[in-house]
Structure 1
Amino acid sequence: MEVIHSRCAGLDVHKQTVVACVRIAGDGPPLQEVRTFATTTSALLSLCDWLDSFQVEVVAMEATGVYWKPVWHVLEGHFELVLANAAHVKNVPGRKTDVNDSMWLADLLAHGLIRASFVPPVAVQELRTLTRTRKQLVRERSAHAQRIEKVLEDANLKLSVVLSDILGKSARAVLQAIIDGQDDPQHLISCIGRVKASRAELLEALRGRVSTHHRFMLKLHLSHIDALDQAIAAIEKEVGLGLEPFRQAAKLLSTMPGLSAVSAHVIVAEIGIDMSRFATPGHLLSWACLCPRNDESAGKRRSTRLRRGGQWLKTTLVQAAWSAVRVKGGYLQAQFHRLRARRGAKKAIIAVAASMLTAAWHMLRDGTEWHDLGAAHFDRADAHKTANRLIRRLQQIGYAVQLTPAG
């Protein structure tokens, strides 16, 4: 097999150690040197000097948790780095040792058999950390809201029946009054503003059996929610103060239906702003796991299910797609209804999410805003097929149709 990289190295990265294998190809059998380093900063600098002493050009490592990141940061700028998906470079079963893993990575890299993972620049990585942390905090806030609902049900207070938002202004006032020791429904009603429920319904919903334990738990969960709200606000402020290219890119993506400022920042954080890393929109869709998998054998297509992965980007795009298909008279809504009739809502919404990511690739590459093709785009694109479909529909309900071209 042809050797692509004559001087390369493979790193088997762990929390406390890094096993490095240098592979140098020559006329005879390749020379392989293996050495183990600690993961402290001084030890990683020694690793960099050791690799440089062999005039190594390319270094490969597996994406093992977060342990690869400090190694990457130390070696970046000195060598061409390749980050490998651990599932794609598994060794032969029964030969699993740290030394063998590093030698296996070096062999794969030498013959060009490692597909490099996308590693964005440091600024994009920092933005990605902020957006992902925000999403995790929002999930924790929702979990505490559900725990408050559980406490209220245990006290037989049906607050969520009469109020749509259990953490809204009126609901918070009621919860604070309960924490302060109030349990009289007449007094609790005075904390509620204008709602659809009648006074009798409010009285019945707020008549429960509140104990000291319930008040303690409500106070505990509300304090956590307040702390999470402050943390989320701080993250949003930090994201808003980001670098100018990221703000401009997020503002550009926000012109697309269904994408809020938060969703736009998530997309920028996940894919970056340099679209030259993805040769075509199809490459980006494949990386985001938003296209059907290739699973064919004996000439038969066995499965078209989406590959697992892309949890941060995929979930955001699907949520944005559900918002986009509610915009009346738009291309995305027309695409959704067109596909839902044949393939179902789930596959249709994935197709809309893929279309939005494709549009994002073009918008970031060209620096252009969203241009909606309109709901009639599909009819204009294939007028003959549309006419035949309408004729068949009229014939099914008992009409004889004869077409006459317009003058």
Structure 2
Amino acid sequence: MELVALYKRVIGLDVHQAQITACALIEESDGTTRREQRQFGGFKRDRRALAEWVASLHPDCVVMESTGIYWKSPYAALEAADIRAQVVNARHVKNVPGRKTDVGDAQWLATLARAGLLRGSFIPPAKLRELRLIARQRQKLVGQLASEKNRLHKVLADSGVRLGVVVSDLHGQSARAMVKALIAGQPSHEVIKLASARLKASREEIFEALQGDLSESHGFVLEELMHHIEEIEARIARFDARLLAGLASERNILALLQTLPGVDLIGAAMLLVEIGPDMEAFGSADRLASWVGICPGNNESAGKRKSGQVRKGNLYVRRLLCEFAHAASRTTSVFKTKFQSLVIRRGYKRAIIATGHKILRTIFFMLKRGEHYRDSTTDYEALSVQRNAPRWIKALTKYGFIAPVGP
């Protein structure tokens, strides 16, 4: 079957770390097709030469495979030359017989693009792509922080100190002060003075939990861990400030996202730099969920449903949605109802993924319509009446619309 050409001038780019193979298919005025192939290096001068060559051909469509992270710098070079390339998923064009070279890859990309058989992935604007670097590195730092906190807990347990048994958060204000005092070598009767009066455990229980055998090695490791934890926390604070400063122009959208249960300011900012504020780029909530990789897999053959495992997608957004789902499942909202209806028969992890899927679909329609979140299980009219009724009655009585009540 011959592919029908929808575009007359297309360019396919096969991107690698040190080489970019380009193939241009140009339809001449007499109906013949001319093929032009070029190879470029991976350095800045080569990317600039690539952009100049592409611009000289005035293409109707430019496509490239999303090969790791190597597509990002050529894409930026083309974008600087006012050329918006389509970044396509390599899964859509692989496993085609006869393509055993980079030249064949680029030519096949151009052939498929010429027939309109490729759909570009979502690529946010340059500003959001830069903020993505900050948001994603912040997620890495949060993971490192959690790892170091767990390690400090284990070292304390190894020394016999069971402070984690009597406090809910070993890194709360008073618990951290007590840990620092232990590291400094202060006796237990002095350390216990740093315990907050709001701790539920009694002073006797806290005193017993502080008893341990801290050796010099324990003290050295604990001190280094505490310094590293505080250093990472300070670094995360700097990342937060830089991220929010970059999104200062999007504060209305950030406020809108925070009306959703389980979403705070930093969570809203990190989500926004990943999916962007314009939902027209995805078209539908289903496509957004598929791009994130949080929707159920669709694998059916001969009328039998097979594995519904989620597909690969944007891991950073999926991690955020799982955090939102954990928080929302503990609120009085429709998401808590969704979670509780699934957790018993489907398990905790599947219930979290399904709740995150529902949250993402809700976010799509909130951003598309520019509307704040309104929970279907909440009677907002009744809440408004309950909050404002005394003031309304006082005003109506004052101006004579209703008679005063009482003597």
1:212 aligns with 2:221: no
Count the aligned residue pairs.
375
Pick from 308, 328, 338 the counterpart of residue 335 of structure 1: 338
1:291 aligns with 2:291: no
> What do you get for the CA RMSD once the two structures are aligned?
2.5
Off by >6 Å, runs of 4+ in structure 1: none
Q: Is the 8 A contact 1:246 1:268 kept in 2?
A: no
- Write out per-residue CA displacement over residues 232-279 of structure 1, whole angstroms, 9 at most, x where no aligned residue: 111211222234442211110111122111222222122111111122
Alignment-derived partner of residue 358 in structure 1: 361
The sequence identity of aligned pairs, in percent, is: 39
Pick from 232, 239, 245 the counterpart of residue 241 of structure 1: 245
2:221 partner amino acid: M
1:224 aligns with 2:228: yes
Q: Is the 8 A contact 1:275 1:361 kept in 2?
A: yes
CA distance in 1 between partners of 2:316 and 2:357 (Å):
15
The alpha carbon displacement at 1:347 in A equals 4.0
Q: More deviation in 254-263 or 242-251?
A: 242-251
Q: Secondary structure at the match of 1:114?
A: coil
Unmatched runs of 5 consecutive residues or more in structure 2: 380-407
Q: After superposition, where does 1:1-400 map in structure 2 within 5 Å?
A: 1-26=3-28, 30-76=33-79, 77-92=81-96, 95-182=99-186, 184-194=187-197, 195-328=199-332, 330-340=333-343, 343-374=346-377
- Write out per-residue CA displacement over residues 114-150 of structure 1, whole angstroms, 9 at most, x where no aligned residue: 2211101112222322222222111111111111112
- TM-score normalised over the length of structure 2: 0.84
Q: Note closer, same or farther for the CA distance 1:46–1:235 as it changes in structure 2 (3 Å cut).
A: same
The alpha carbon displacement at 1:33 in A equals 2.5
- Write out per-residue CA displacement over residues 192-249 of structure 1, whole angstroms, 9 at most, x where no aligned residue: 2333333333333222222222222112111111111111111211222234442211
- TM-score normalised over the length of structure 1: 0.84
Q: Note closer, same or farther for the CA distance 1:199–1:342 as it changes in structure 2 (3 Å cut).
A: closer
Unmatched runs of 5 consecutive residues or more in structure 1: 377-407
- Write out per-residue CA displacement over residues 343-370 of structure 1, whole angstroms, 9 at most, x where no aligned residue: 5554444333222222212221221111
CA distance in 1 between partners of 2:124 and 2:108 (Å):
26
Alignment-derived partner of residue 399 in structure 1: none
CA distance in 1 between partners of 2:344 and 2:230 (Å):
44
Q: Note closer, same or farther for the CA distance 1:25–1:297 as it changes in structure 2 (3 Å cut).
A: farther
CA distance in 2 between partners of 1:348 and 1:193 (Å):
37
1:10 partner amino acid: G
Q: Note closer, same or farther for the CA distance 1:335–1:154 as it changes in structure 2 (3 Å cut).
A: closer
The alpha carbon displacement at 1:74 in A equals 0.8
CA distance in 2 between partners of 1:240 and 1:79 (Å):
29
